[in-house]
Amino acid sequence: MWELTKSFRFEAAHSLSGTTFGAASEEIHGHSFRAEVTVRGTPDPETGMVVDLGLLQRAIEDVRLTLDHKFLNKIEALGKPTLENLSRFVWERLQHIGKLTRVSIHRDSCNESCTYYGPQG
């Protein structure tokens, strides 16, 4: 069994109300994000790859463009723009590639990250 992880970065702004951070969090502010998408499986005997990296890259680029340099509060399908919801949002847009095992979103400047493992079953 192999795990393959592909990363991408995006810059985005948001505001979060109702946190213990108070006014600082409620003001519009931005972050640099790093996302990691992990697939698991056995390499295809013909290609030698767990997943075609070209297809994975195209799918990731679509998601990155949806998030990059955007005000996350305006992305309706995201909900409240938390790390938790960002990781779920990315998962939902990439689950069609199959073999997806986890999506992690990192906010390195804050030393924070969140990993979503998707529905179990």
**Which pLDDT band, with edges at 50, 70 and 90, does 121 fall under?**
low
* Residue 106 marked ligand-binding: no
Residue whose token pair is 């990731």: 60
pTM value is: 0.91
* Residue 31 marked ligand-binding: yes
* Residue 29 marked ligand-binding: yes
Which residue ranges make up each domain of the chain? 2-116
* Mean pLDDT to the nearest integer, 60-81: 96
Instruction: Look at residue 30 in the predicted model and tell me its pLDDT.
Output: 87
With 0-12 CB in 10 A as exposed, 13-18 as middle and 19+ as buried, what is 103? buried
Fold of the domain spanning 2-116? Tetrahydropterin Synthase; Chain A (3.30.479)
Q: What is the pLDDT of residues 25-57, one digit of tens each?
A: 777 888 999 999 999 999 999 999 999 999 999
Instruction: Look at residue 113 in the predicted model and tell me its pLDDT.
Output: 95
